[in-house]
Structure 1
Amino acid sequence: MTQHDESAPTSASSAAASVPAWESRTETQITLRSPAELADALPYLMGFHPTDSVIMLALHGERGRFGGRLRLGIPDNAEEWSDVSDQLAETLVAGCGKRGPRPDGIVLFLCQDPAKGETARQVMERLRPLAQSLRLACGGLDVPVYEALCISDGRFWSYCCPDERCCPREGTPLALPGTSVMAAAAAYAGIQVRGTLREMEARYAPLTGRRADEQESALDAAAADLVPRILRGTDCETVRQETLDLARLVVERFHEARPAARPEADARDDSLLAADEAAAIILGLQDRTTRDRAAEWMEGPQAPAALRVWRALARRCVGPYIEHAAAPLTLAGWVAWSTGEHPEARVALSRALSADPEYLFAQLLHRACNEGMDPELLRRCLRRERTGRVVDHERAETGTDRPEALHATAPLGAPGERNPLEEPEEKSSRETAEAQQSREALKTVDAQSATPAPAPATGARRHATTGASGAGGPGGTGGPGATSRRGGPSGGNGPAGKARTRRRTGRGVRGRQ
């Protein structure tokens, strides 16, 4: 099991939980006073309806302010529960301690719907040993579990409350959607619940059936054409430009197409992308420099279209090309994070790490997003990279170093975005300090990513997600963000750090990125 951090700072205690409004939109605080209110608040605290999940929320202070949080898929093998419980408790407590005070308590949720032929009450009883194991693990660290809830099939049970007057044996129905105090507060703050976790993950699932077969054939044909050109090394820049030009054309197409309503949106987007186009872009994005330049399409009116394109490309990574999805999934996670879609960013980056656990760019972004870092610092770095590339390009064409010769230059980055050269050349002392902060942030994140979190004895591939303590809510911002450096197979560095050779699978060509 691989551990990765995820944060969305928020704040509650089982008796009286205090939740500040997200993104500093208001100083109003919400107080959760019962297990029912805690259960109803969970989707708004996470940004989605969790499924098949263990969720742990840290509590701080006398008012029980929400701090760090952690989510992990429930292990299928009950024999793993004890070891997993120890690791989850240690991860949450240690993570909170690194960013501030240790938690004073924990609220625990076990979310799982019944299997075929199983009742919700049977789910609750089946998961009771897991709840007890987690309570013992937290207690062993001197952090009590104030409340432990099982949520299944629209009902909840408390593992801590023996009073059947408030927690009956048959469970308590959840409040109707949109009727709880948290629903009202979320609507006021502009917070949306984006369906279930399973539904969010399904948007990135590979195609199946006949379309998957067609896409695999297109990927085979594209690999036969592109891989020899990439491996020769002499044609890399041409392949990069061809990939970016094609990707830019597809982004423009998605931008011009009228967005469809869900759940038809993804099917509509799939119809806008031909199999051969998808294959060429997917293989081209395996080059780190190409991917880094595509990452510059992270803002502006066409960023939503770019996110849709990266989603569609992730769905086209089928058969033996599933690992190739790490690149478009990471780009989707980056654009989602950059545009404020934090729950989707975490889903996309988690899936990128499932496709390739050692994909360094995804590791850096996942850590930065989950620790509440500000994406603006990385955006600034990517803008500087684009500006420097434009300047170099114009100097090569004009044969002059005069700044006035560059005033008409259009950027080579995202379609439709403003010219970054319009920014003044003279940087203020504040801007200089911010640039230094950005460089130091990269050093910090690189150093943290060099030591992966310990894995438990289980052989299952899971991603535990933890959150930083502090005020705010899902999607809150925090300390310094990651920055990037240019590079690619030719020997430079990129946001992911140094490239490492990856084993050949017989189809396509990939490297550690």
Structure 2
Amino acid sequence: MNKHHEPTGPADEQQITLRGPSELADALPYMMGFHPNDSIVLVALHGSRGRFGGRLRLGIPRSPREWSPVAEQLAECLIEGSERRGSRPDGIVVFLCQDPAEGETSRLVMERLRPLAQRLRTACGTFEVPVYEALCISGGRFWSYCCPDARCCPPEGNALALPGTSVMAAAAAYAGIQVRGSLREMEGRLAPWTTPAVADQEKALDAAGAALLPRILDGAGREQVATETLALAGRMMKRIAETPRTGGWAESDVADDRLIAHDEAAALILGLQDRETRDRAAEWMEGPDADPALRLWRAMARRCVGPYSEHAAAPLTLAGWVAWSAGDETGARVALGLALSVDPEYVFARLLHQACNEGLDPETLRSCLRTAGGAAADSGTRRSGARKHRPRPQQARPATGKKGMPGSGTRPGAPAPGNRSRARRRSGDRGTRSGR
């Protein structure tokens, strides 16, 4: 039976019927909140009408040797994660999104990825869940790997609808849903610098490491470094908050970078490698604190250059936490996914990523942080920065299953294929990384 005409719709009260691969392809960025370039996306379907359920995204592995194990893991994550959240999928839709490389056509991309599509279909079939549709989206065109009818799915592919003209675009505009560019652009806001200033920032990190490491290893010095780190962060947040944003996000990020000196960034990045300090910094999460905190953590992630790239796990996780706490689940998943890509064993990022993907309410953790802050205020303890100094809250741990869940791509925190040996080598992290 040709599943192209199986209607599908989102899980909320506003039902939208999508018919055929064309409308499915056009709907993808609205389902994700961005254009998922260079990605495998799996979407679960439930019931006879194919209601959209959990969804899962992972970057396409470069080596075809990784395709089979990745396909098996993704199928397992989506299906078992859906079961934990309520019901087993009745079907799955697969999207493979990758633009052509230099000298390559979109059709060649489609043919190159055909074995990956087949492995995903086989992996889902192993769990007795059929793949109703598998689409390749490349260079503004799409192909179906499932439809043999050349009349609707010609060999040269079909053009995607013009932006804003599809059924899903109209429904999204009515609902106030926006597509925030591509995944590449969103990740670019958090990526390490590639400008000539990299050399100066790396020197500042080297100098800060030499100065801070002996103090962090000393018990009394560690608490003093934590106090100094949080005070510094408070001053930098105040500076950012007092500087209005102008232009688009790119101009805003550049403006934020100009507000922060190399030595300030280096001291804050290294100070955040202490788990207790990082957890106390997570208290900046809502109200007037949220926006400057998010801007600060993004800026710190961009300053983790050269051999300090793994230090970005802390500011990326904080950026993900603030974004999630503020209701931006898409931005949270991107930041937390990057944190796990630089350090697959970073526990705080793993827990937050899993909780976000499980659809849990961040209010539980926010309440914990508020309670801890209130207790500190009652005791008269003060933070030396712009806010009150609060004892480290107990880290709220969402319920975990044995596998990952829709949206995570892999088991939370599990090294991605090809990264396992690198993760094992991290057991001897730099001394400034005193906790996760």
Same fold (TM over 0.5): yes
User: Which of 422, 428, 432 is the aligned partner of 1:503?
Assistant: 428
Q: Which is higher, the Rg of structure 1 or of structure 2?
A: 1
> How far did residue 140 of structure 1 move?
2.4
Distance 1:461-1:345 versus aligned 2 partners, 3 A rule: farther
Counterparts of residues 6-25 of structure 1 (less than 5 Å): 15-21=6-12
Q: Deviations over 1:198-244 (max 9, x none)?
A: 11111111112421110111111112222211211112222222111
Q: Is the 8 A contact 1:112 1:123 kept in 2?
A: yes
Q: Which amino acid aligns with 2:343?
A: D
What SS is found at the alignment partner of 1:32? coil
What SS is found at the alignment partner of 1:59? strand
Does residue 1:321 correspond to 2:308, yes or no? Answer: yes
Distance 1:106-1:354 versus aligned 2 partners, 3 A rule: same
What SS is found at the alignment partner of 2:250? coil
CA distance, structure 1, for counterparts of residue 98 and residue 229 of structure 2:
42
- Partner of residue 408, structure 2: none
Gapped regions of structure 1 (runs ≥ 5):
1-11, 22-26, 395-410, 421-437, 463-500
Q: Is the 8 A contact 2:234 2:387 kept in 1?
A: no
CA distance, structure 1, for counterparts of residue 395 and residue 219 of structure 2:
33
Distance 1:121-1:448 versus aligned 2 partners, 3 A rule: closer
CA distance, structure 1, for counterparts of residue 63 and residue 345 of structure 2:
25
Q: Deviations over 1:253-294 (max 9, x none)?
A: 111111132322221111111101101111111122211111
Does residue 1:107 correspond to 2:93, yes or no? Answer: yes
User: Which of 345, 357, 362 is the aligned partner of 1:375?
Assistant: 362
Distance 1:307-1:457 versus aligned 2 partners, 3 A rule: closer
For CA contacts below 8 A with separation 6 or more, give which structure has more relative contact order: 1
Counterparts of residues 48-87 of structure 1 (less than 5 Å): 48-87=34-73
CA distance, structure 1, for counterparts of residue 385 and residue 124 of structure 2:
48
CA distance, structure 1, for counterparts of residue 157 and residue 41 of structure 2:
19
CA distance, structure 1, for counterparts of residue 6 and residue 402 of structure 2:
40
CA distance, structure 1, for counterparts of residue 433 and residue 395 of structure 2:
29
> How far did residue 86 of structure 1 move?
2.0
Q: CA RMSD in A?
A: 2.8
CA distance, structure 2, for counterparts of residue 282 and residue 440 of structure 1:
21
Q: Is the 8 A contact 1:294 1:414 kept in 2?
A: no
Counterparts of residues 25-424 of structure 1 (less than 5 Å): 27-260=13-246, 261-393=248-380, 412=383, 415=386
What SS is found at the alignment partner of 1:43? helix
CA distance, structure 2, for counterparts of residue 359 and residue 457 of structure 1:
13
Is the helix fraction higher in 1 or 2? 2
Q: Which amino acid aligns with 2:428?
A: R
Distance 1:445-1:412 versus aligned 2 partners, 3 A rule: farther
Bigger Cα displacement from structure 2, 440-449 vs 218-227: 440-449
Gapped regions of structure 2 (runs ≥ 5):
405-410
Distance 1:259-1:128 versus aligned 2 partners, 3 A rule: same
Q: Is the 8 A contact 1:16 1:31 kept in 2?
A: yes
Q: Which amino acid aligns with 2:337?
A: S
> How far did residue 301 of structure 1 move?
2.2
TM-score, scaled to structure 1: 0.77
Q: Percent identity?
A: 62
Q: Deviations over 1:445-468 (max 9, x none)?
A: 49989xx66969942479xxxxxx
TM-score, scaled to structure 2: 0.90
Q: Is the 8 A contact 1:297 1:306 kept in 2?
A: yes
CA distance, structure 2, for counterparts of residue 230 and residue 175 of structure 1:
56
Q: Deviations over 1:75-104 (max 9, x none)?
A: 112222223222222221122122222111
CA distance, structure 1, for counterparts of residue 210 and residue 93 of structure 2:
53
